[in-house]
Amino acid sequence: MTDATPSLPAIAFIGGGNMARSLIGGVVKAGGDVASIRVAEPVDALRDALHADFNVQVFDDAAPAATGAEVWVLAVKPQVLREVCEALAGLAQAQRPLVVSIAAGITSAQIARWLGGGIAVVRAMPNTPALLGAGVTGLYANAAVDAGGRDIARTLLESAGETVWIDDEALMDAVTAVSGSGPAYVFLLAETMVDAGIAEGLAPDAARTLALQTILGAARMLTADDTPAAELRRRVTSPNGTTQAAIESFERDGFRDIVARAVQAARVRGVELSAANDEA
Ligand X SMILES: NC(=O)C1=CN([C@@H]2O[C@H](COP(=O)(O)OP(=O)(O)OC[C@H]3O[C@@H](n4cnc5c(N)ncnc54)[C@H](O)[C@@H]3O)[C@@H](O)[C@H]2O)C=CC1
Ligand Y SMILES: O=C(O)[C@@H]1CCC=N1
**Interface residues with ligand Y (CB under 6 A)?**
104, 176, 180-181
**CA pair distance 23, 116, nearest whole angstrom:** 27
| DSSP output for 95-140 | H-PEEEE--SS--HHHHHHHTTS--EEEEEE--GGGGGT-EEEEEE
18 binds ligand X (CB under 6 A): yes
Q: What are phi and psi of 102, to 5 degrees?
A: -105, 10
**CA pair distance 162, 168, nearest whole angstrom:** 19
Q: Dmax of the chain from CA atoms?
A: 69
Compose the 160-199 pattern: x for residues touching ligand X by CB under 6 A, - for all others. --------------------x-------------------
Nearer CB in complex with ligand X: 84/207? 84
14 binds ligand X (CB under 6 A): yes
16 binds ligand X (CB under 6 A): yes
Q: How many residues are there in the chain? A: 280
- Window 65-124: residues binding ligand X (CB under 6 A): 75-78, 80, 84, 102-104
Minimum CB–partner distance for residue 177 and ligand Y (Å): 9
Nearer CB in complex with ligand X: 6/129? 129
Minimum CB–partner distance for residue 263 and ligand Y (Å): 12
Nearer CB in complex with ligand Y: 58/100? 100
Amino acid (one-letter) located at 238: S
3-state SS, 42-89, equals CCHHHHHHHHHHHCCEEECCHHHHHCCCCEEEECCCHHHHHHHHHHHH
Annotated ligand binding at 138? The verdict is no
Minimum CB–partner distance for residue 81 and ligand X (Å): 7
Beta carbons of 123 and 139 less than 8 angstroms apart? yes
Binding residues for NADP(+), as ranges, are 14-19, 75-78
Residues contributing to the site for ligand X (CB under 6 A): 14-20, 40-43, 46, 62, 75-78, 80, 84, 102-104, 125-128, 180
